[in-house]
């Protein structure tokens, strides 16, 4: 179907079902139960799942296929967001020109940075991309304030030109369909929210995912893998690897731009921190945590990180106390004391420890973990020929 083999079609369908049913799946706990804290089916977080999913899918096209580890990909996300917000400021709140421009600007930006950075390889390439991204971040935070509104982040003001605004909506919309509108469905004790913005992001994520499958399976994708496995040998056969890597770099930069544009479309503010090296590091972590070089890994990684960040940072001691209220007092206090070190202000500790555990025990990321579990269930060795879940970690 759609030019995919059966295995890939199955994967795409599974991802599609997951994405479209997310508002139900992520709100699995009844809304007034104590477990409702672990629900994540509200618009903002679901949108983040798929937007960062797009970002990670794009990153994976570069890193997973060619092995080039970019440490500055957040810069493309950032310029994408700025471009989108500028469109809101200048034209109107329609997201189509905003997202198109964000992809184009991020594409152009990545042509320049990629063209320069790809003159080097290995860690030298990583540091070059890091340097460009850090420079962008620092300038956006200070000197470029007229363009970026600095620390506060670029936002739309009432006195902006917005030449096409007229009587149109004053929130981001798709030809009148407001991104923040949503339908709420109550089913018994459950409550499900179906937001417009989320579905737009989810559909774009599925398109991006489909495109990435096609790239992985195309001759171009083979070429990129060849670059990863042995670039020297490739040059000896008379092929110049540079155009291929540059193409991969620009494609992944445009994915990042799309993600940045969508972030702005869901919430019209672009903060400079989106370009900081920690943000670039986050997408690396997403890809590797999920399983670099696999198709679905980056999406899983992006979802896992955003979910854990949300849940652990919001767990406070009062909440923990109420959870363990049924225990004897001393046990409750001890438990709360121990757990509170890992939650609330300590959520970084949980995340750090979790990275370490995954990297140490699951070099192929969550995808490998899933395979191991599946294999154990099937009581046989993990199938090692599934392309979709190639476990060889990228370098």
Partner 1 sequence: MDAIILQLLNGLDKGSAYALIALGLTLIFGTLGVVNFAHGALFMIGAFCAVALQRILGTSFVTEDPTQKDFLGNPLKVQTPYLESWFGPETGSAIIDWSVPLAILLAIPVMVAIGFIMERGLIKHFYKRPHADQILVTFGLAIVLQELIRSYFGANPIQSPAPEAFKGSFDFGVMLGFDPNVIIYPYWRMVYFAFSAVIIGAVFAFLQFTTFGMVVRAGMADRETVGLLGINIDKRFTFMFGLAAAVAGVAGVMYAPINSPNYHMGMDFLVLSFVVVVVGGMGSLPGAVAAGFLLGILESFASMNVVKNLLPGIDQIIIYLVAIVILLARPRGLLGKKGVMED
Partner 2 sequence: MTKSNFTRRGMLKTGAIAGAGVALPTIFTASSARAYTNEPTGGTVTLGFNVPQTGPYAEEGLDELRAQELAVQHLNGEGDSGMMNTFSSKALKGNGILGKKVQFVTGDTQTKSDAARASAKSMIEKDGAVMINGGSSSGVAVAVQGLCQEAGVIFMAGLTHSNDTTGKDKKANGFRHFFNAYMSGAALAPVLAKEYGNDRRAYHLTADYTWGWTQQESIQAATEAMGWETVNNVLTPLASTDFSSYIAPVLNSGADVLVLNHYGGNMVNSLTNAVQFGLRDKMVNGKQFEIVVPLYSELMAAGAGANVQGVFGSMNWNWQLQDEGSKAFVKSFGEKYGRPPSNSAQTCYAQVMLYADACERAGTFDPCGVAAALEGFEFDGLGNGPTLYRADDHQCFKDVLVMKGKENPTNEYDTLEIVEVTPRAQVEYAPDHPMFAGGDLGKCNSGA
With CB under 8 A as the contact rule, the residue among 36, 138, 160, 387 that binds partner 1 is: 138
Residue 321 parent element (H or E): helix 317-323
* 185 contact choice in partner 1, partner 2, none (CB below 5 to 8 Å, kind-dependent): partner 2
Name residues contacting partner 1, limited to 62-121 (CB under 8 A).
67, 69, 116, 119-121
Does 187 sit near partner 1 (CB under 8 A)? Answer: no
Please say whether the beta carbons of 28 and 204 come within 8 A: no
Quote the CA–CA distance of 152 and 173 in Å, as a whole number.
23
The partner in contact with residue 267, picked from partner 2, partner 1, none with C-beta cut-offs of 5 to 8 angstroms by kind, is partner 2
> Which of the listed partners (partner 1, partner 2, none) does 243 bind, with a CB threshold of 5 to 8 Å by partner kind?
none
* Per-residue binder mask for partner 1 (CB under 8 A), 353-382, x = binder: xxxx--xx--x-------------------
CB 156 within 8 A of CB 85: yes
At closest approach, how far in Å is the CB of 84 from partner 1? 24
Which residue, 87 or 362, has its beta carbon nearer to partner 2? 87
Residues facing 155 on adjacent strands = 269
Q: Which is nearer to partner 1, 197 or 297 (CB)?
A: 297
Query: What is the closest distance, in whole angstroms, from the C-beta atom of residue 272 to partner 2 in the complex?
Result: 8
Q: Considering the complex, what minimum distance in angstroms separates the CB of residue 322 from partner 2? A: 10
Nearer to partner 2, 160 or 387 (CB): 160
For residue 258 the two structure tokens come to 């799309």
Binds 128, which of partner 1, partner 2, none (CB < 5 to 8 A, cut-off by type)? Answer: partner 1
Element (H, E) at 222: helix 219-229
Determine the Cα–Cα distance for residues 168 and 94; give it in Å rounded to an integer: 9
Rounded distance between C-alpha atoms, residue 354 and residue 347, angstroms: 11
Residues facing residue 192 across a β-bridge: 185
Q: Please pick, from the candidates 183, 184, 327, 349, the single residue that binds partner 1 as defined by CB under 8 A.
A: 349
Using CB under 8 A as the binding rule, whether residue 308 contacts partner 1 is answered as no
Is 30 one of the binding residues for partner 1 (CB under 8 A)?
no
- Residue 366 CB neighbour total at 10 angstroms: 20
- Report the C-alpha gap between 314 and 306 in whole angstroms: 12
246 binds partner 1 (CB under 8 A): no
Q: Which does 171 bind (CB under 5 to 8 A by kind): partner 1, partner 2, none?
A: partner 2
Among 151, 317, 333, 395, interactor with partner 1 by CB under 8 A: 395
Residue 395 CA to residue 386 CA, distance in Å, equals 20
Token pair belonging to 256 = 């990042």
Q: Which residues make beta-bridge pairs with 146?
A: none
Q: Indicate the residue among 196 and 246 with the shorter CB distance to partner 2.
A: 196
**CB 129 → partner 1: shortest distance, Å?**
10
Distance in angstroms (rounded) separating the CA atoms of residues 224 and 216: 9
Q: Which residues contact 114 (CB under 8 A, 6 or more apart)?
A: 245, 246, 249, 250, 253
8 A C-beta contact, residue 354 and residue 384: no
Q: How far is the CB of 234 from partner 2 (least distance, A)?
A: 40
When the beta carbons of 220 and 355 are compared against partner 2, the nearer one is 355
The answer to whether 228 and 20 are in contact (CB under 8 A) is no
Q: How far is the CB of 135 from partner 1 (least distance, A)?
A: 4
Specify the DSSP class assigned to residue 389.
G
Which residues contact partner 2 (rule: CB under 8 A)?
Answer: 31-32, 39-40, 42-45, 48, 138, 141-143, 145, 150-153, 155, 157-159, 171, 178, 180-189, 191, 193-194, 196, 267, 269, 271, 273-274, 310, 313-314, 316, 318, 344-345, 347-348
How many angstroms separate the CA atoms of 82 and 264, rounded? 8
CB 255 within 8 A of CB 208: yes
Going by C-alpha positions, the residue among 185, 150, 368 that lies closest to residue 271 is: 150
Closer CB to partner 2, 59 or 312, in the complex: 312
DSSP 392: P
Residue 352 binds to partner 1 (criterion: CB under 8 A): yes
Which residues in this chain contact partner 1 in the complex, by CB under 8 A? 67, 69, 116, 119-124, 127-128, 130-132, 134-135, 138-139, 142-143, 231, 277, 281, 284-285, 288, 292, 341, 345-346, 348-349, 351-356, 359-360, 363, 393-395
């Amino acid at each position: 179907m759609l030019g995919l083999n059966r295995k890939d079609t199955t994967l795409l369908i599974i991802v599609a079902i997951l994405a479209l049913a997310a508002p139900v799946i992520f709100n699995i706990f009844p809304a007034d139960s104590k477990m409702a804290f672990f629900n994540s089916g509200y618009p903002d977080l679901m949108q983040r799942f798929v937007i960062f999913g797009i970002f990670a899918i794009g990153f994976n096209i570069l890193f997973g296929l060619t092995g080039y580890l970019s440490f500055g990909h957040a810069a493309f996300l950032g310029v994408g967001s700025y471009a989108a917000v500028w469109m809101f400021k200048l034209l109107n709140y329609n997201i189509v020109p905003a997202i198109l421009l964000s992809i184009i600007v991020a594409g152009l930006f990545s042509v320049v940075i990629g063209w320069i950075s790809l003159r080097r390889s290995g860690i030298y390439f990583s540091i070059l991309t890091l340097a460009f991204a850090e420079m962008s971040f620092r300038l956006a935070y200070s000197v470029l304030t007229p363009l970026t509104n600095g620390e506060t982040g670029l936002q739309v003001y009432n006195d902006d030109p917005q030449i096409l605004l007229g009587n149109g909506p004053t929130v981001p919309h798709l030809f009148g369909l407001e991104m923040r509108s949503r339908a709420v469905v109550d089913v018994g004790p459950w409550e499900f929210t179906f937001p417009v913005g989320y579905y737009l992001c989810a559909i774009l994520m599925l398109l991006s995912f489909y495109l990435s499958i096609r790239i992985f399976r195309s001759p171009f994708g083979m070429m990129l893998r060849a670059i990863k496995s042995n670039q020297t040998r490739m040059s000896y056969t008379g092929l110049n690897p540079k155009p291929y890597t540059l193409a991969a770099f620009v494609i992944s930069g445009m994915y990042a731009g799309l993600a940045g544009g969508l972030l702005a479309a869901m919430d019209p503010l672009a903060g400079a921190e989106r370009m900081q090296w920690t943000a670039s590091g986050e997408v690396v972590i997403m890809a590797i945590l999920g399983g670099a070089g696999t198709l679905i890994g980056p999406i899983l990684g992006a979802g896992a990180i955003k979910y854990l960040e949300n849940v652990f940072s919001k767990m406070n001691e009062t909440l923990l106390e109420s959870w363990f209220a049924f225990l004897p007092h001393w046990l409750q206090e001890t438990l709360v004391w121990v757990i509170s070190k890992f939650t609330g202000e300590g959520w970084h500790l949980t995340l750090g420890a979790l990275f370490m555990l995954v990297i140490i025990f699951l070099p192929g990321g969550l995808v490998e973990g899933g395979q191991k579990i599946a294999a154990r269930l099937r009581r046989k060795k993990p199938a090692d020929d599934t392309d979709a879940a190639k476990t060889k970690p990228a370098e």
